[in-house]
Amino acid sequence: MAGVPPDYFSATGQLWGNPVYNWKALQKQDFKWWIQRFEAMLDYVDIIRIDHFRGFEAYWAVEKGEETAENGEWVTAPGDELFATIRQKLGKLPVLAEDLGVITPEVEALRDKYEFPGMKVLQFAFGSDPGNPFLPFNYQRNAVVYTGTHDNDTTVGWWNSANDWEKRNLWMYLGCISNDGIHWDLIRLAFSAIANQAIIPLQDIFGLGNEARMNFPGKPEGNWEWRYHSEMLTQDLSTKLRDLTILYGRAPQK
């Protein structure tokens, strides 16, 4: 079964329950299934986010019958061969690599070889030292910055539960906490970063708290239930986002 070992999100890991890919069979078919999958996806979207990108370098395999993901092993995957074949068939892929979790130099090398941007999450930035890779001054341009992802609490929810150390570090980094709310402080920080792309969850634009959280990793039920009402998308929010987009050079240039 597929999953991940214990990490930031879960003390017992995440046991997803689905079978791992039969890579030997896929290799024999010259990755035809994967190529068709990418072709189908690109009929619908402009950029493909590959969840759990590290699984293309090595994946966590857990024996059937286990109730948690603690007892598993890393198994090498043919990610380099896969992406080389796809690039040969389809050209350079518009892919974003979700490179969070247990990331090794081998995973980073695979990501960088195919020039896939990785993810930078601001909620992870302020709990350690200046070497933290999620701090904006440590970014490279080929990256996507988020205030938080679907697996995180909302920014307001995160701030309300953050420890004093994180709050102090963020306050010192920003110089102050604005009257607009902590969510707009992190949105502004994301937009001002050098990462080529910035993605802001709608819950953060609305400034919603823990009640609007999208997903709890490792929790099998009660996720993905949050919805918004169209009247929440106001002209004031649109204007504010437009102004920040222009201010930080993220608007199309004339």
Per-residue HEC secondary structure of 126-165 comes to CCCCCCCCCCHHHCCCCEEEECCCCCCCCHHHHHHHCCHH
Distance (Å, rounded) from C-alpha 60 to C-alpha 201?
29
Residue 183's pLDDT is what? 98
Given 74, 95, 116, which residue is the final one in a domain?
Answer: 116
pLDDT at 220 over 80: no
Co-location of 103 and 141 in the same domain: no
Co-location of 124 and 236 in the same domain: yes
Residue 11's pLDDT is what? 87
Print the domain residue range for 233.
120-254
Residue 7's pLDDT is what? 80
Co-location of 161 and 83 in the same domain: no
Q: How many domains does the chain have?
A: 2
Mean local confidence (pLDDT), 164-181: 95
Catalytic annotation present for 70: no
Co-location of 19 and 98 in the same domain: yes
Per the residue annotation, which of 98, 99, 153, 204 is the catalytic one?
A: 98
Distance (Å, rounded) from C-alpha 176 to C-alpha 172?
7
Per the residue annotation, which of 57, 99, 151, 185 is the catalytic one?
A: 151
Co-location of 51 and 143 in the same domain: no
Per the residue annotation, which of 30, 39, 51, 211 is the catalytic one?
A: 51
Question: What pTM was estimated for this model as a whole?
Answer: 0.91
Catalytic annotation present for 39: no
Residue 76's pLDDT is what? 97
Give the HSE-up count for residue 100: Cα atoms under 13 Å, Cβ half-sphere: 25
Co-location of 6 and 108 in the same domain: yes
Co-location of 137 and 171 in the same domain: yes
Co-location of 88 and 144 in the same domain: no
Co-location of 112 and 194 in the same domain: no
Tell me what percent of the residues of the chain surpass a pLDDT of 90: 89
Residue 60's pLDDT is what? 95
Given 64, 84, 116, which residue is the final one in a domain?
Answer: 116
Write the pLDDT tens digit of every residue in 58-87. Answer: 999 999 999 999 999 999 999 999 999 999
Strand, coil or helix: 21: coil
Residue 207's pLDDT is what? 98
Co-location of 32 and 95 in the same domain: yes
Catalytic annotation present for 112: no
Residue 8's pLDDT is what? 74
Residue 240's pLDDT is what? 97
Given 116, 131, 165, which residue is the final one in a domain?
Answer: 116
Quick one: pLDDT band at residue 221, thresholds 50, 70, 90? confident
Quick one: pLDDT band at residue 2, thresholds 50, 70, 90? very high
Whether 34 and 82 have beta carbons less than 8 Å apart is answered as: yes
